[in-house]
């Protein structure tokens, strides 16, 4: 079965055959038919499509897609060109500018990061418009846990950026002897001043 369209499919095929994934797929299909759901259906697996397992160098874990009009594009924290930067992304760009002593990226389209092997993976890949967390506990978390486990089994020397308690819990099993695991507060305005700013994760990752 092809779901993603690259080497992830071979690693994740056992997941595709499990009852939870069938139930998840049916539930999400029904949501797209009857509700306004983000990101657009074609972008649901965009993060994994953009970064094959064999090319992956860095994993950044987010939680939920943006639920505002036109924001979610299938990559955690990112938005398309022309979309106003969400607060967490503003803070990510502030830290990049401060850490690397270079101008912040010109827009929120992080496709260029994907081209460098950075997987921007949300724990939940879809959401109802204007209803944060509405697709949690439908099976996405089990699927994205499997993505992270398959990565950990297949590859060493990966940089994991775990921002906030949720991402840290999701990546708690990662072997720190074989990978670089960097943790800090989340870039949200609610927590960025409690340890995200000044974490120097971008220079350390480089």
Catalytic residue at 64?
Answer: yes
3-state secondary structure 97-137: HHHHCCCCCCCCCCHHHHHCCEEEEECCCCEECCECCCCCC
Q: How far apart are alpha carbons 123 and 127 in whole angstroms?
A: 11
Q: Are 44 and 116 in contact (CB under 8 A)?
A: no
User: Which of the 8 DSSP states describes residue 59?
Assistant: E
Q: What is the dihedral of CA 26, 120, 8, 143, to 10 degrees?
A: -40
Q: How far apart are alpha carbons 161 and 116 in whole angstroms?
A: 15
From the candidates 7, 64, 98, 99, give the one annotated as an active-site residue.
64
Active site residues: 64
């Amino acid at each position: 079965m092809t779901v993603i369209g690259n080497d992830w499919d071979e690693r994740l095929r056992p997941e595709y055959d499990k009852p939870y994934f069938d139930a998840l797929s049916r539930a999400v299909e029904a949501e797209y038919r009857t509700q306004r759901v983000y990101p657009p259906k074609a972008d649901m697996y965009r993060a994994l499509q953009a970064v094959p397992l064999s090319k992956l160098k860095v994993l950044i874990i987010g939680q939920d897609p943006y639920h505002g009009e036109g924001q979610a594009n299938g990559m955690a924290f990112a938005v398309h060109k022309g979309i106003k930067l969400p607060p967490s992304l503003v803070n990510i760009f502030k830290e990049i500018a401060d850490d690397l002593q270079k101008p912040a990226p010109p827009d929120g389209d992080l496709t260029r990061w994907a081209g460098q092997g950075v997987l921007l993976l949300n724990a939940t890949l879809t959401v109802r418009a204007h209803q944060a967390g509405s697709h949690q506990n439908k099976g996405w978390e089990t699927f994205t846990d499997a993505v992270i486990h398959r990565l950990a089994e297949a590859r060493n020397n990966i940089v994991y950026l775990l921002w906030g308690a949720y991402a840290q819990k999701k990546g708690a099993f990662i072997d720190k002897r074989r990978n670089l695991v960097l943790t800090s507060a989340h870039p949200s305005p609610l927590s960025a001043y409690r340890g995200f700013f000044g974490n120097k994760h971008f220079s350390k990752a480089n």
